[in-house]
Amino acid sequence: MAGASELPSLFEHENQSGIPDRAVITLGSMAIALALIGSMKTLVEAASLVFLFTFTVVCGLAYRAKAGRRLITGLSAVAGVAASIMLVIRLIEVNPFSFVMLTLLVLVAIFGRPIVLRHVKTRPLQ
């Protein structure tokens, strides 16, 4: 993502094995912070919610673009929305603090990323 100017070029760095080490360390640190704030169970539920959201968006885009079988992509998008709603409700009931923290992280990603990218050096797409 850093190579596509979606993240600061700092995260584009790779070690000798071709692994984006700075990005992996940052992601791991964020996971540790989330685990310390809540529990491992909450972290897994939050990760599941992110995966469900991604799956739902991809299915919705595929349905809209008429890619694949529309019945399958459409039903998958609807099922993803339903499962996401149920998981959000569960997360709010079980650990509202973790839900608030996840919501804050999402808001930072949505609104903070453009601000950071304006002020940090990124490499143009080649």
pLDDT in tens, 69-116: 889 999 999 999 999 899 889 888 887 877 887 788 778 877 877 777
**pTM to 2 decimals?**
0.58
Is the distance from CB of 35 to CB of 70 less than 8 angstroms? no
Helix (H) or strand (E) holding 112: none
Instruction: Measure the CA–CA gap between 8 and 18, rounded to whole angstroms.
Output: 18
- pLDDT tens across 30-65, in order? 778 777 776 777 777 777 888 888 899 999 999 999
4 SS3 class: coil
- What is the distance between the terminal CA atoms of the chain, rounded to a whole angstrom? 13
Chain position carrying tokens 């990603």: 109
